[in-house]
Each structure stands twice: as structure tokens, then as C-alpha cells.
A and B are shown apart, each in its own frame.
Chain A
Amino acid sequence: MVRYIANKLFYTLISLFILISATFFLMKAIPGDPFMSEKKVPEEIRQRLMEQYGLDKPVFQQYIKYLGDIVQGDLGISMKKINQEVSDIIGQTFSASLKLGLVAIVVSVIIGVVLGLLAALYHRKIIDNITMVLAVLGIAVPSFVLASLLQYVFASKLHWLPTMGFKGPLYYVLPVAALSAQPIAFIARLTRSSMLEVLHADYIKTAKAKGLSWFAILTRHVVRNGIMPVVTYMGPMTANIVTGSVVIEQIFGIGGIGKQFVQAITSRDYPMIMGITIFYGALLMIARLVTDVAYGLIDPRIKLNARKEG
């Protein structure tokens, strides 16, 4: 187990290195620089600024210097928010994103699994049909469309919920709904098909022949075996929710890391773009690692140390 995780971490570092390099050169390939604006900046001042941030040097030299800083854990200073460390900005804004993301993940898993289970138990009945229609809708409608729609109906027309901001529990409802719709739909479908398979498995007949009650069969024998595909999906889902929140935070005016990311890109704040990309990348890779470990804990047939890469 420990060896497996160490092995996995090694590959994670390689992936991160590739991510950093690709982002760095792509970012430099975009026309423009941080000090372009509508107001004409005098050439000498521009030159001074470029020198101060090391932007006058060849791109490859900048890249080597950046890598050196990263290894020392230094993400640099924002070029737009004067004298603020990138890591500090991430630290301050991430808590809002984390809260939103965690709530969305928990809500997605609970509602998705429950809906999928109900659909499987009432296979080909009304509940099943309704759930599956909703699931198709949920997968098909993009989160930003849903977000605007929710704002229009529940905030603008009905005045039940706040449109913008992030000041209390009520402010969570709409963004979480917009973020979770897609994962819920996906999880419901996954759970349904896998539970249907498990419900027809021989060992469920064995459990019945033991005289266990239906409730005991469901909780002890069905759910644990049927939940596996959902665990597999947890990694990609975390990615979906985290990246999805970039747009959602913007729409709902939540001062999270996603909003910072969008601002950084539009203003060519190079250190911020790099810093947040690395942060996201690391987050997703950790989510995958956790998923893999959880896999082994739920299904004893999966031996982590027996596998090299997965």
C-alpha cells in the first residue's frame, strides 16, 4: 500500500512537470502581456516593468527560472495585485471554492446514489422513468445555462433565494444545484445500471436464501457491490466540479479561486495563471489517488500493491 502510494506520487510529479511546462509555453504563446491596457503606457515605464518582472529575458530562460522557484515552493508574486504572493491569494480565495466544491460533491453523491438505487429497485416503473428522463436532461444541459435559468426563476422571479454573493447557507443553494446537476445525473445512471446487475447476482439469491430481510440484503449486500462504478467516477467528478466552479463562481459572483483564475487569464497575470493551474492540477491528481485507494478498501479483490500503474 505505502509502496503503491509512493509509486503513484512519483507519477503525479511527472504529470505535474508536464502540466507546468505545457501551460508555461502556451501562456507565453498568447499575444499580449500584463502591462498592456487601453491607456497608453510610456515606453520607458513599460520597459522598466518588464525588466522588474524578468519578462525581457528569453522565454526559455524565464522557464528555467520559474522551475527553480517552484522547486523551492515559491509561486511568485502577482503582477496585477501589487505585492501579493500568488500562494497567499490562492490560500485566501480557496476556502470559498473548497466549501462550494465539497458541498456539491457530497450533494451529488448522496442524491445521485439514492436516485439510482430507487430507479433500480423500481425498474421500469414510474420512478425509474422519471429519474432517467431527468438524468438525460441533467447530462445534456450545461451548468452555466442551468445557473442562469436557476437565477432567473428562483432569484429574479420568485425572490426565494439570493442571486449573487456567498454570505450564508441560502447562498449555497443555487450554485450547488448548478454544479451538481450533471454529476447527479451521471451518478444516478451509473448507480442504476450497476445496482440492476447486482440485484440479479447469484449472491443476492444466496442472501435471500439465508432468510435475511430485504433491508439487510440491500444495505449489506447490494449497495456495497453496486457502489463501485460511482467510486471510479469520483475522480473525474471532482475534476468536473472543480473546473465547473470556475464558470459558476463567475456567474454567482463568488470570490473563489475560480473567479481569480478567470481574472488572471484575461489580464495575463502570468504567475497567477501558473500558480492556479498547478494548484488545480495537484488537486485533481490527489483526487485520483484517493479514488484508487478507496477502491482497494471497498473491493478486496483489488490489490493495490499488485498493480504498477492504473
Chain B
Amino acid sequence: MEPILQVKDLHVSFQVKGGEVKAVRGMNFEVGKGETVAIVGESGSGKSVTAQTIMRLIPSPPSIVKQGEILFQGQDILKKSNKQMEAIRGKDIGMIFQDPMTSLNPTIRIGKQITEVLIKHQKMSAGEAKKRAIEMLKLVGIKNAEARFNQYPHEFSGGMRQRAMIAIALACRPSLLIADEPTTALDVTIQAQIMDVMKDMQERLGTSIILITHDLGVVAGMCDRVIVMYAGEVVESGTKWEIFKNPQHPYTKGLLRSMPRLDQKKGEPLIPIIGTPPDLIKPPIGCPFAARCDKAMKVCERIDPEATVFSDTHLARCWNLHPMAKEVHPNE
């Protein structure tokens, strides 16, 4: 599959008073055309920073891209000028954010917030843009689109606002949509509706999607591939089936184990991953998960593990998976 986006060895840091927070430490991944890739991980794992770096939305300073490349349709986004970036944002890459209550401008009509992007990128007249905007509102499942076009964000419910955000992000038919925790701020029934809208839009427009989330349920519902991030690194990546049916990394296993199950007995406690992620001002030299891992060995604390490859799509970074580890744990 032709990759539309390739992230190669991306390192992003933040300059703060206490030193340098290494938020992303060597990300590698690809997104194919029409594919949906999920980036999962807990808060502070660097997933949002990765997403916003692709859009170049994080102001610099304080953020610095230390090294790496982000190839979008073969061109390095990090080498683009601000003007060139403006032409890409909203047109070739759309983005939706976590909190639909605050992501829309409260003093501008919903319709204008959609037409704005069409007039900028598609050089449409106001009339054409209005027609397309109403069409987009209908596509994302907003009834009475003509009347809704003239309303303000406070007249929309949370789910409706997120639909409007999707309409804005996809108005110019971008080839890539980045959804940064699009359902986190919504209640569960609305979450499902929003995911359906995204899936439906993807089928119609053939958009690739990067879905950033910590909700594995959302991942199972709509993604092709999953990237598990921990402390700014990819610890495991694979197809949805490889990750859910055959997880390899102890962190991935822990995440899956911590999910509440339907067949869980009443009163049975959830299983957490004990501990907290490492401080990224001084990231550990070894495996970042070693301090919380029940299978940690001496080598884990000293040397960052290499990737062990299980298939063309599946890899994980853990010393336990290394061929030599078989000799340490003969029973496994």
C-alpha cells in the first residue's frame, strides 16, 4: 500500500525551566492510503505531540524537533515554510480535537466556520461555499442543515459540535484526517455515533485517518493498525488483530488486561498497571517500561530494547521477546 504519511525517527522536545522534556523519542510509522491507524498510549506518552507536530501546530519555542522526517505525500513537512504549511493545513490534512465544547469559536456562526476554510483553500465564492458547507453538515448527519448553518456553537449539543468539527476538517476533502481523542469529551452513546460518522466519511472520501486515543474500544471498532506508545517511543505496533489477539509487549498486555470486561463478575476489581510513567526530563537509558514491568531483567534497565519483528506488520520492543531471552526464561 502506498504510504501517504511516513514518520521517520522523529524526536520532539520541549524546552522548560528544569531542562528539556523529551516528549517524543524516535517515532517511526506509516499511514497508507485510506487506512486508519490508531496511536494509543496513556497521558503524556507523546501521542498528541506527535499528531500536532505533523500539523506543525506546536509553537516553537518551546517545542523543538530534534531530528527526524515527516514525509507527507513524499515531501518533508518539517522543511516547509509557514506559508506552505498554511496551504496544507485544512486542505490536505484536516484535524479534529478532543473538546468540541471549546474547539469552535463561540462568536462566529457554524456555517461561517465551515465556509471560511472552503473560501481559503478552494477559492470558492461565498455562495458556492455555503452550498458545500450545507452539504457537509448533511453528510455528518446534522438534520435541518440549512437552519443549523446560521446557528452559533452554543446552540449545538456536544455531539453536534463534534460533527460540525468533522465537517470543517473534511470540507476540503483532505487526504489525511488527524483525530486527536475525538470522543474523549463525549458520553458513550455519542462516542459511537461520532465514530460511525468518521467511518462513513472515510468510506465516502477515501481519507486516511490517524486516530489518537486511549480508548481501546474505539480502536477495536474502526482501526486497521495500532501503534502503542509509551514514554515517547513505539513499544509495539501491528494490525488490529495482531495487537488484540496476540499482544507481545508487557505494556500492551497490561493495557488490554486493564480494560473492563462485560463478563466481569460484580465487585471484581479492574487490573491496573502499577506505577507511573518515567520523567521525560531524564528518560531512563534502558527500557522506559522496566520500572513498571513484572518481567523486567537486569538488561532492561541498562539498554533500550531492539525491535523484535513477528511479521511484516507486527513488531515489539522488549528484551523478553529477544531470541536470547529464551535462555533466561527456559520455561516460556
Contact = CB atoms under 8 A, between A and B. Distances in A.
B19 interface: no
A224 B152 CA distance: 15
Contacts of A225: 105-107
Interface string B87-98: 111110011010
Contact of A203 (B90, B102, B120, B154): B102
A210 B104 CA distance: 12
B87 A211 contact: yes
B90 A201 contact: no
Interface string A197-213: 00001110111111111
Nearest to A209: B95
A221 interface: yes
B196 interface: no
Contact of A202 (B90, B103, B117, B152): B103
Q: How large is the interface on B (under 10, 10 to 19, 20 to 34, 35 or more residues)?
A: 20 to 34
Nearest to B83: A213
Interface string A269-308: 0000000000000000000000000000011110000000
Contacts of B90: 209-212
Contacts of A207: 105
A209 B91 contact: no
Nearest to B171: A210
A28 interface: no
A211 B97 contact: no
Given A210-B89, A211-B121, A224-B107, A205 B116 contact: no
Given A206-B165, A206-B168, A221-B108, A212 B86 contact: yes
A48 interface: no
Interface in A188-234: 201-203, 205-213, 216, 220-221, 224-225
Contacts of B121: 211
Contacts of B55: 209
B105 A300 contact: no
Given A203-B103, A299-B106, A209 B152 contact: no
A209 B152 CA distance: 20
A42 to B, nearest CB: 70
Contacts of A206: 97, 103-105, 165, 168
Given A202-B103, A225-B105, A210 B120 contact: yes
B242 interface: no
**Chief secondary structure at chain A's binding surface:** helix
A224 B105 CA distance: 10
Contacts of B20: none
Contacts of A298: 107
A212 B102 contact: no
Contacts of A211: 85-91, 117, 120-121
The 3 A-B residue pairs with the shortest CB-CB distance, nearest first, are A211-B90, A211-B89, A210-B90
Contacts of B108: 220-221, 224
B107 A210 contact: no
Contacts of B107: 224-225, 298-301
A206 B94 CA distance: 10
Nearest to A204: B105
B57 to A, nearest CB: 6
Contacts of A221: 105, 108
Given A202-B99, A205-B57, A210 B168 contact: yes
Contacts of B105: 203, 206-207, 221, 225
B306 to A, nearest CB: 36
A213 B108 CA distance: 17
Contacts of A300: 106-107, 152, 154
